[in-house]
A and B are shown apart, each in its own frame.
Chain A
């Protein structure tokens, strides 16, 4: 079956622009996670949804970052007024049950470059 998909795969933005990154989780998966991976580092948690409810957003670095999952399936991560330090790979993962205790399946990521 289809895995987690993300779009776009690559995004170049000028500093100050707004961007929107999309994640399509595995069909039927309850939990959805966003992670940020800087070059040479491990991924870092941003936010977690269980169905349409955003249960944890403690990892969002600033109020310029906003995530939503209005119908409990597709999710969008929006970054307003992008800055150079936002350059990273943004990874989405989904899990079949609530919580992060079960295996998380990752998408290919979106590489964001802010000039």
Chain B
């Protein structure tokens, strides 16, 4: 059974720091991996999608990497801002469904 774990569960940092959020999964047979952002009381916003054949994707200050063989992905956030405060979820796709981790709750303070 595919299990997805995210570390740390919560993170509080001052504005301007570079951050690394970690995601690990137990079964390397995935189609792709997707990173989402969730604000309180809101739905999920897709940040980055990495196909299984890719190693990384970049969007603005965000960079996500994927190492299927080791079952790991990292989300790198450069120069964090208070507006980045949210819960970040990673999810792997296997057999047409997303399997989510429990998320990392990020707070960036001024």
Contacts and interface: CB of A to CB of B under 8 A. Distances in A.
Chain B contact patch, size range: 20 to 34
Contacts of A72: none
A40 B97 CA distance: 20
Chain A contact patch, size range: 20 to 34
Q: Which of A43, A44, A59 has the most CB of B within 10 A?
A: A43
From DSSP, what is the main secondary structure of chain B's interface residues?
strand
A101 B96 contact: yes
Interface string A23-42: 00000000101010000111
Contact of A44 (B34, B93, B100): B100
B97 A106 contact: no
B99 interface: yes
Contact of A33 (B4, B34, B98): B98
Contacts of B89: 42-43
Interface in A70-115: 91, 93, 99-109, 111
B98 A100 contact: yes
A69 B31 CA distance: 26
B43 A42 contact: no
A111 B93 CA distance: 25
Interface in B25-72: 31-32, 34, 36, 41-46, 49
Interface of B: 4, 31-32, 34, 36, 41-46, 49, 89, 91, 93, 95-103
Interface of A: 4, 31, 33, 35, 40-45, 48, 55-56, 59, 91, 93, 99-109, 111
